[in-house]
Structure 1
Amino acid sequence: MGELFEATVSDVFFVVPDSIDDPMQVSGGNRYDQRVRDGLRAEGWAVHMMLVTGRGTGWTARALAALPEGALALVDGLLVSREPQALVAHRSRLRIVVLAHMVAAPADGMVGDGALGDRVLAALRSARRIVATSAWTRSQLLEQDAADPHRIVVAHPGVDPAPATVASSGGGRLLCVAAIAPHKGQDLLLRALAGLADRDGWTCTLVGSLEVDPDFVAALTAVIDAAGLAGRIRFAGVLEPHALSKAYAQADLVVLPSRSESYGMALAEALAHGVPVLATGVGGIPEAIARADAAMIVPPDDAWALRVVLQQWWANPARRDALKAAALEAREAGRRWEDTIAVVASALREAAVEGLRTEAVPS
């Protein structure tokens, strides 16, 4: 074994997908990683970025192999799902902390019924610490014995302060912010809206990448065309931060009909703008809602329930006013990114010190 990496505990190698700053691949995970990177640097950490391509295999293993002996590595959980064996191979020479945005990437990190595969579990168990982005994610990891409880901490996403929005008189401006993909449930929302085609005064803007599942986008487009709603439902694609903030400012209600969700950053951001939310009660979504009375929650995979709640929203101005008032008050209750960074930094320091002690013990 070579000499330990000569650095202070403020040095960290952040191993992330190379899409982290790609404006066309905006995601909650990428935005979280950006804030962690920038926040750690602002706190005095020397953050060395290791960008891993999403094309092909072996890239995470190469990135970890390039790190010096004893280095502190913060690894995005998406890469763990893709190449779990890479973490296991370097567990004895690196001080690894995993940043778990979700339990695992469904395509390659999980087996039946959402269970983690043996290789992913082995990779997670090789980490000195796991930083989960919601308590729900932590609970899922603990249920599957991915790590001892004291090794998994929660660093919820924060929100940025935003100006208060002004509601329209009819509450008809709907906004959905999520990658256009089956697990985000936009098909449920469109089915609900198709049943409300004869109601005037509403529009719906779908913000999010159209590249994740083009076939799903095509199916949604067919639903819109069949219902005659092409002029009322719009795909806006990915929006840069200023344009996204403007979209929130022009919304009366943010809808997130996800089938699965580890947190729901769009809901927290909506409330930071003073916009009420309608969402499914899955995963970590309740943790993203700063005030319960600013939200309407429906069961997952239930287009009928979405339609009924939307009908109630439009039929009852007093109810809309109450939700809006609660959402405006929720602006002061949102989590801060400073707290997120403090939790991540603490986990890194603990892993670094623990690693030093472990390496110092003679074999």
Structure 2
Amino acid sequence: MPLRTAAFAVPGDLQTLTGGYIYDLRLLTGLRGLGWDITHIPLGASFPDPSKKDMHHAAQQLAMVPSTAPVIIDGLAMGAMDHDVLTGMTAPIIALVHHPLAHESGLPRDKRDKLFRTERDNLALASHVLVPSPHTAALLGSDYDVPSDRITVARPGTDRPIGRLAKTQPPLILSVGIQVPRKGHDVLLRALAQVVDRPWQAVIAGSALDADHASLLARLVDELGLSNRVRLAGRVSGEELARLYGQASVFALATRYEGYGIVFDEAMAYGLPIITCATGAVPETVAQGAGLLVPPDDHDAFADALAQVLDETEIRDRMVAASQTAGVALQNWDGTSRLVADVLDRIAKNAQDDR
């Protein structure tokens, strides 16, 4: 039986350690394991603010894909491409929207508006749209005019921990997220500064993708007197991240917005109590009872939640139990890949029938 053919267009380095890139890499690997001949099309790293060179290269690469081979296009590129690039394709398009580009924190109003219009218009050209959460599906329907029957929610998979590590002392508060404004690490630092009378240590793991914001975080650590308590670890290996999860006692992410948040699934897989913000897809991702959710951009409320989890053993134990229960029930990556493979099958069949 011949392999089924498709393509997967992703801007930048597929090995980048962010939730979106981890999703893309695991999906690419999983689809190949299910018998799909998936061509990885690497697009320029300048997306979602593409250079003329990267846009031209994208147009050339995508125009070469046969009309019967569906192309999954990652949202970093899909939402920022010139409309003509997509209309110049003959292959059916499957958009993969981790979260709408206009929902990134800190964007100037004019850029936010432009990204919204571009992404809305481009999504109208997609045969189908993949999203990681019901929240994002609803948002694309209400704000971006994508019909619900063209959207599939393909939740990220989760790997199970191998073995258990001893918890560090003092308790380790772990935060995982790239160093960009949306992840709210500045809010977390200000909250941590309010609970310095308690024993804890903290690690913030995540690449410094925004150099200016990374510098701000480093200054905050010094200005708030947290240098001996907080480590900005930057990018860490998968093995190191697993070790940190295993040693942590609390997971804390003061995010301003998430289209899903793979890190919450990872934290629940390790049975960690979670402190985060009630924004985007977070309330539907963090299992009931496993987390304390506070308003975004409220470091006082975040500090109160940290103090509650650090001080109240009974509350913490209940959160741990809820997190462990949810973690056991999480879908693996094979389930995610099979769901997307079904979408590819349908789109590919329609493309064949239209020939």
TM-score when scaled to structure 2? 0.90
**SS of alignment partner, residue 20 of structure 1:** coil
Match of 2:282 in 1: 285
**SS of alignment partner, residue 236 of structure 1:** strand
1:322-349 CA-to-partner distances (Å, cap 9, x unmatched) read: 2222222223111221221122111111
Match of 2:125 in 1: 126
Tell me, in whole angstroms, the C-alpha distance in 1 between the residues paired with 2:176 and 2:182.
13
By how many angstroms is 1:113 displaced? 7.4
Selected match of 2:217 from 212, 217, 220: 220
| 8 Å Cα contact 1:75-1:96 kept in structure 2 | yes
Match of 1:155 in 2: 154
Q: CA 1:248–1:331 in structure 2 vs 1: closer, same or farther (change >3 Å)?
A: same
Q: For structure 1, list consecutive stretches of 5 or more residues without a partner in the other structure.
A: 1-6
Are residues 1:269 and 2:266 paired? Answer: yes
Match of 1:88 in 2: 86
Are residues 1:243 and 2:260 paired? Answer: no
Please give the residue correspondences for 1:1-363 in structure 2 after superposition, counting only pairs within 5 Å: 10-21=4-15, 25-55=16-46, 56-57=51-52, 58=55, 59-90=57-88, 93-104=90-101, 106=103, 117-163=116-162, 165=164, 168=167, 172-197=171-196, 199-210=197-208, 212-289=209-286, 291-357=287-353, 359-360=354-355
Q: CA 1:102–1:150 in structure 2 vs 1: closer, same or farther (change >3 Å)?
A: same
Q: CA 1:44–1:105 in structure 2 vs 1: closer, same or farther (change >3 Å)?
A: farther
Q: CA 1:261–1:171 in structure 2 vs 1: closer, same or farther (change >3 Å)?
A: farther
Tell me, in whole angstroms, the C-alpha distance in 2 between the residues paired with 1:104 and 1:227.
32
Q: CA 1:169–1:340 in structure 2 vs 1: closer, same or farther (change >3 Å)?
A: closer
Q: Percent identity?
A: 29
Tell me, in whole angstroms, the C-alpha distance in 2 between the residues paired with 1:196 and 1:17.
40
Tell me, in whole angstroms, the C-alpha distance in 1 between the residues paired with 2:163 and 2:239.
15
| 8 Å Cα contact 1:99-1:131 kept in structure 2 | yes
By how many angstroms is 1:94 displaced? 1.4
Paired residues, number = 346
Tell me, in whole angstroms, the C-alpha distance in 1 between the residues paired with 2:22 and 2:234.
16
| 8 Å Cα contact 1:175-1:204 kept in structure 2 | yes
Bigger Cα displacement from structure 2, 347-356 vs 294-303: 347-356
Tell me, in whole angstroms, the C-alpha distance in 2 between the residues paired with 1:70 and 1:323.
49
1:146-167 CA-to-partner distances (Å, cap 9, x unmatched) read: 3221111100001011146567
By how many angstroms is 1:40 displaced? 0.5
Tell me, in whole angstroms, the C-alpha distance in 1 between the residues paired with 2:164 and 2:113.
38
| 8 Å Cα contact 2:221-2:227 kept in structure 1 | yes
By how many angstroms is 1:287 displaced? 3.1
**SS of alignment partner, residue 68 of structure 1:** coil
Match of 1:3 in 2: none
Tell me, in whole angstroms, the C-alpha distance in 1 between the residues paired with 2:157 and 2:232.
27
By how many angstroms is 1:34 displaced? 0.7
| 8 Å Cα contact 2:190-2:224 kept in structure 1 | no
Tell me how large the CA RMSD over aligned residues is: 2.4
**SS of alignment partner, residue 13 of structure 1:** strand
**SS of alignment partner, residue 144 of structure 1:** helix
By how many angstroms is 1:84 displaced? 4.1
1:213-263 CA-to-partner distances (Å, cap 9, x unmatched) read: 222222222222122210110011111111110010110011111101101
Q: For structure 2, list consecutive stretches of 5 or more residues without a partner in the other structure.
A: none
Q: CA 1:327–1:315 in structure 2 vs 1: closer, same or farther (change >3 Å)?
A: same
By how many angstroms is 1:13 displaced? 1.0
Tell me, in whole angstroms, the C-alpha distance in 2 between the residues paired with 1:155 and 1:311.
35
Bigger Cα displacement from structure 2, 46-55 vs 68-77: 68-77
Q: CA 1:117–1:225 in structure 2 vs 1: closer, same or farther (change >3 Å)?
A: closer
1:77 maps to a residue whose letter is G
2:140 maps to a residue whose letter is L
TM-score when scaled to structure 1? 0.88
| 8 Å Cα contact 1:171-1:314 kept in structure 2 | no
Q: CA 1:266–1:167 in structure 2 vs 1: closer, same or farther (change >3 Å)?
A: same
2:80 maps to a residue whose letter is R
**SS of alignment partner, residue 38 of structure 2:** strand
